[in-house]
Amino acid sequence: MIKKNSDNILSSIIIILCVISSYNISSLASKFQLKAMNLDIVPRQFSFIFKISDSIAGIVPLLIACFIFFNTKIILNHVFDMKVRNSSLFYYISVSMIPLLIHLYFVLYNLFTYLPTLSLAELQNFENVRFSMGLRISDFQFISSASWELFFIIFIFLLYRHKIPIYKVLFSVLFAPAIFLVLYYFFL
């Protein structure tokens, strides 16, 4: 019982840290976007829109975790008749999010450290700005993609280790995100 509670607490902490970092990244980006627009006074509409945007960005990790949780649970339970406890599935998803959490805090560190020192000209040519270890924005995009790939690899491995056949694991984990990506790239 104690291990189950500690797993749930750890899982919740990981998700909450992802939410906080995502919100802070969006908030910092909003502030520097205003700086790049060279506005002395921030119009109330911008302030309101940025707050909504920051809030939405903050809940994105939670929404993704819920999306993957419910899709995996539905497919495993109803399609393959495999029973996985909710707490185990939640734990597997949150542990799999650790590479994403590291990536988010690395981005947050770089934004917090380097953006305040940038001039207006550098902000307007943001794609060429060098951050820690000489990284550019395109490098952060690659690291983000690698973090997501690690997320899915870890999640698949943890479910497979739970004694679920690999084809059931692959289908239950990858089916809904694949449908989402197909719809996103072909219709947007």
The pLDDT score that the predictor gives to residue 164 is 87
Contact in structure between 8 and 92 (CB atoms under 8 Å): no
Give the integer Cα–Cα distance in Å for 18 and 7. Answer: 17
Give the integer Cα–Cα distance in Å for 103 and 167. Answer: 29
SS3 13: helix
Q: What is the pLDDT of residues 12-60, one digit of tens each?
A: 899 999 999 999 888 888 877 777 777 667 777 777 887 888 888 889 9
Write out the residue range of the structural domain in which residue 24 sits: 2-187
Q: How far is CA 51 from CA 15, 33, 61, 65, in A?
A: 21, 13, 17, 22
Task: Check residues 45 and 180 and name the one with the higher pLDDT.
Answer: 180
Contact in structure between 11 and 91 (CB atoms under 8 Å): yes
pLDDT at 92 over 90: yes
Nearest to 25 by CA among 127, 97, 108: 108
Specify the number of domains making up the chain. Answer: 1
Contacts of 91 (CB under 8 A, 6+ apart): 7, 8, 10, 11
Q: What is the pLDDT of residues 111-170, one digit of tens each?
A: 888 776 666 566 666 677 777 777 887 888 899 889 999 999 999 999 999 888 898 889
CA dihedral 186, 96, 158, 4 (to 10 degrees): -130
**Lowest-pLDDT range, 2-6, 48-52, 171-175?**
2-6
pTM, full prediction: 0.83
